[in-house]
Amino acid sequence: MNEERMDGERMNVILITACPSGMATTFLAARRLEQAAQRRGWQPHTEMHGELEAVTPVSREAISAAELVVVAAERVPDAARFAGKRLYRAPIQQALPDPEAFLERAVREATAFDIASEPADAPVAAVSSEDSRVKSIVAVTACPTGVAHTFMAAEALEQAGRALGHRIHVETQGSVGAQNRISEADIEAADVVLLACDIEVDDERFAGKRVYRTSTGTALKQPQQTIQRALDEAQVESAGSENSGGKGGGERKSAKERGFYKHLLTGVSFMLPMVVAGGLCIALSFVFGIKAYEQEGTLAAALMQIGGGTAFALMVPVLAGYIAYSIADRPGIAPGMIGGMLASTLGAGFIGGILAGFLAGYSAKAVIRYIKLPSSVESLKPILIIPLLASLFTGLVMIYVVGTPVAVALNWLTDFLNNMGSTNAVLLGLLLGAMMCVDLGGPINKAAYTFGVGLLSTETYMPMAAIMAAGMVPPIGMGIATFLRRSRFAQAEREAGKASFVLGLCFISEGAIPFAAKDPLRVIPISMIGGAITGALSMFFSIKLMAPHGGLFVLLIPNAVNHALLYLLAIAAGSVITGVGYALLKRGEDSVVPTDVVSPSVASSGAAEANRSAS
């Protein structure tokens, strides 16, 4: 086969890319090499090994017809299939700067491939544990709101597990409870338990099993690597080992995953149903007139009593109780709720509730760890000693130390937010809107969201409206971009854009994650600009939102939003700016094959969950 034919005539070529990190480089290199091959008049068949989607191997027919195999990777995946083929291999980093020159070198330097020259650990994206037998994996996913990350991470793990050749059963603990439950037989047969949870879940049933812990974000973005680390690094845990201070198995946790952040989000996740139900009941009471609830015995008064008098009254105690539960397990619930109720009665609000939750949790944990009793009375510890001592400590600190200063600070914050001028309102909207879009469901996004939810307990509704509107902008914007400049997006990306648009309408910011993961330097800044504009417009229009979730579905509830048309205008403005901006910034030659992480099935599941939350 002469070199003239290689350069000038149609030739069948196989292109394989694999990046050690398994992220965007794999897809970007594949796309650029494919385009360079097409410019040469070649017929390329591409195989990509990455973490964001299952590998689709080239067919036997394509291998048989191939006149050249180009591998941009450290090793040749499934090397035996290419025995005897003309093959060129080089690191993927050499392919990205100049794919034309890379293919030129491949033509010159390719040689007949000898399988004996390939290292024994050659396969890429294949099972690399101590043996290649099929493993049985059970997993649990849970995020604070139980709507987006929970289901997206579950689907990503299921796809990755199948791609790696393992049996995997994923239980989701979403906003409607556990679904696809793991049975005792599944646990007994499992080689490893993978807990991808941002909140505390009941792990006692996994006592004695090898357990690996990580976050939903990690499982979503690196599902194959997560499964492989679980198989390699999981450790046997005893019941309640994490809460009792033992060495939990699995990933070394950051403070985000095991400390303040995780405990706070556990409390928020249990508080959210109270906020949603209470806010919507209050909104429904306004159907009969803004002041109709003042007439005793009327339906409006009953709705206000359910929402404002009961559901909202439970917000802070539940928040504090489940923060304490995350820290100290069941013994923390009673002192946490007592501290949260004190925070409410003292006027310390949600800030006081957060402090009470941490005080109760760590004091209960200290009693568990440091107070030793004779075995004859040890059984009294969880029902008498821990609740009494932890409640006394938390209550006294709240009354004499924390309560009054926090109440003063919260009253000042509430007065400032309710009476601030338009300039300050716009600036706050800009800040909250940008925060909602900077990490798409990450800690900054959750911090802004928690701030807005907490303010609902003080009857401050404007920040929550800006926060939800801004959180809808990135996924809607990505959907608009894929519609406006279809030629710059691959077919699968256009499908992901449709799913992203639906998720955005449901206030699921995570719908934009696949786009941000592959093109962060363009997606995140333009999303922040759009979100900031939406947040500023919402605050400028003095829009108030009674419910903290549900997306556009809350507009179906009368009086849930005070200026519905202006609210739609604010959302549309930011979304169009984001969509048009990214469509203009998107470079066709950098288009990469998107993932199946946000598939239409997940979009439908997320939409249904958000709808149920709103209703």
**Plot region of 456 (φ>0 → left; ψ -120 to 50 → alpha; else → beta):** alpha
H helix or E strand, kind and range, residue 540: helix 520-540
- Kindly report the backbone phi and psi dihedral angles of residue 90, in degrees, each rounded to the nearest multiple of 5, phi listed first: -155, 160
Instruction: Extract the tokens encoding 47.
Output: 């195989």
Instruction: Extract the tokens encoding 427.
Output: 């600036």
Please tell me the distance from the alpha carbon of residue 165 to that of residue 296, in angstroms, as a whole number: 64
- Asked about 281 being catalytic, the answer comes back as no
- Which residue is associated with the tokens 């309408």? 505
What CA dihedral angle connects 250, 255, 256 and 258, to 10 degrees?
50
Instruction: Extract the tokens encoding 348.
Output: 């310390």
- Kindly report the backbone phi and psi dihedral angles of residue 136, in degrees, each rounded to the nearest multiple of 5, phi listed first: -105, 120
Nearest residue to 168 (alpha-carbon basis) of 155, 178, 158: 158
The residue annotated as part of the active site, out of 19, 281, 437, 506, is 19
Burial (Cβ within 10 Å: 0-12, 13-18, ≥19) of residue 491? exposed
Residue 296's Cα: distance from chain center in Å?
A: 44
- Asked about 197 being catalytic, the answer comes back as no
Strands 210-214 and 192-197: parallel
Please tell me the distance from the alpha carbon of residue 341 to that of residue 316, in angstroms, as a whole number: 7
Residues contacting residue 469 through CB under 8 Å, at least 6 positions apart: 433, 534, 535, 538, 543, 567, 570, 571, 574
Instruction: Extract the tokens encoding 392.
Output: 């006394």
Please tell me the distance from the alpha carbon of residue 605 to that of residue 568, in angstroms, as a whole number: 24
- Kindly report the backbone phi and psi dihedral angles of residue 110, in degrees, each rounded to the nearest multiple of 5, phi listed first: -65, 140
Please tell me the distance from the alpha carbon of residue 3 to that of residue 11, in angstroms, as a whole number: 11
Query: Coil, strand or helix: which one is 77?
Result: coil
Instruction: Extract the tokens encoding 440.
Output: 């798409």
* Structural contact between residues 490 and 128, judged by C-beta atoms closer than 8 angstroms: no
Q: How far is CA 134 from CA 50, 80, 130, 131, 137, in A?
A: 20, 21, 11, 9, 10
* Structural contact between residues 107 and 6, judged by C-beta atoms closer than 8 angstroms: yes
Q: How far is CA 122 from CA 69, 128, 272, in A?
A: 16, 10, 49
Q: How far is CA 541 from CA 5, 523, 536, in A?
A: 67, 27, 9
Please tell me the distance from the alpha carbon of residue 87 to that of residue 358, in angstroms, as a whole number: 60
Strands 68-72 and 12-18: parallel
Instruction: Extract the tokens encoding 38.
Output: 């097409």
Q: Among the residues of 286-402, which ranges form H helices? A: 299-304, 312-328, 333-345, 349-370, 386-397
Instruction: Extract the tokens encoding 109.
Output: 């330097």
* Structural contact between residues 14 and 42, judged by C-beta atoms closer than 8 angstroms: no
Residues contacting residue 205 through CB under 8 Å, at least 6 positions apart: 184, 187
The residue annotated as part of the active site, out of 143, 281, 437, 506, is 143
Q: Around Cβ 126, how many Cβ atoms within 10 Å?
A: 17
Which residues are identified as catalytic? 19, 143
